[in-house]
Amino acid sequence: MSVTAGLGPRLDRERFEAGSLAMLTPALALLGLLFVFPVLYAGYLGFTNLALVGSRSRDYSFTGLDNVVRMLGDYVFIKSSWLTILFVVGSAIIGQSVLGMVLALLLRNAVVPVRLVVGSIVIIAWVLPEITVALVWYAFSQAGGTLSILLGHREANYLVLVPMFIVSLANLWRNVAFSMLVFSAGLRNLPTEVLEAAEVEGASTWRRYTQVVLPLLRPTILTNLLLVTILNLSEFTLIYAMTQGGPGIETMTLPLYVYQEAFVFHQLGYGTAISLVLVLIGAIFSLLFVRAARSQA
């Protein structure tokens, strides 16, 4: 006869408790209804000819690869994809990360009042509602705005002259604090011994940063790149409020094009198909960063 008979379930192994299921259920229900289902539904709608109004709003059908074929011949879509990549690489991957790193390094060595004031201003720019950022940058870049006066061409509207550059700059201005905070935290957690050793050995400041600090920060840098890429790929509000994608289609990145196709031109199916491409681009970038992180470890 077994010794354990009659002693109830064994206690030396972790078990699944019914109570935990009860606590998870509300979150799972909400996520299931308004997250998981819409994601799957998007995967279907992207291959249909669903419209917002008219007969196809009710009698839509699965159209296979029609939307994909349409995309490949769609000049606006191609341009929009390039603009999106330009925006993410220029504003987020290069601009935000480099300036964020520069700020994190400089702030460590700054005198206290400068550190407090500059650090707070950068963070306030990040905390401001996006629409406020859009407004102040709209004002900043208008003809007769501060930028045109600073550059000495009072009548120049830089939001029309170099729209992609201005929205990228505004976006960088808003998001730099995020990378700055991530890098500051990374720098704080570096082992002091290594830095001190490099200093004692007489390494120059430049060599200490390029050959000791940056390699040690590699995981932090890759995490930052992954996060800012994903966050910036779906940027909509700032660009839309400043330009609505214009002038022409000069700032029509993919999220704006999704909105325009779906809710302005009433092509819900085609709009969804474009949003799937956006997810695909995000997945490709993520994969690259994850592989880069693995190759080191």
Report which of 274, 258, 263, 268 is spatially closest to residue 58, judged by C-alpha positions: 268
178 in Cβ contact with 100 (< 8 Å): yes
Q: Which two tokens stand for residue 265?
A: 């031109």
53 in Cβ contact with 266 (< 8 Å): yes
Nearest to other proteins of 5, 129 (CB atom): 129
CA distances from 27 to 16, 19, 22, 23, 259 (A): 18, 14, 10, 8, 28
Nearest to other proteins of 86, 264 (CB atom): 264
179 in Cβ contact with 100 (< 8 Å): yes
Shortest distance, position 221 Cβ to other proteins, whole Å: 11
Shortest distance, position 148 Cβ to other proteins, whole Å: 8
Nearest to other proteins of 26, 152 (CB atom): 26
Nearest to other proteins of 190, 292 (CB atom): 190
Shortest distance, position 30 Cβ to other proteins, whole Å: 5
271, β-bridge pairs: none
Shortest distance, position 3 Cβ to other proteins, whole Å: 24
Shortest distance, position 1 Cβ to other proteins, whole Å: 30
Nearest to other proteins of 69, 139 (CB atom): 139
Nearest to other proteins of 130, 250 (CB atom): 130
- Count how many Cα atoms sit within 13 Å of the Cα of residue 191 in the half-sphere of its side chain: 7
Shortest distance, position 72 Cβ to other proteins, whole Å: 20
Q: Is 234 helix (H, G, I), strand (E, B) or coil?
A: coil
Q: Which residues contact 237 (CB under 8 A, 6 or more apart)?
A: 130, 131, 134
Largest CA distance in the chain: 96
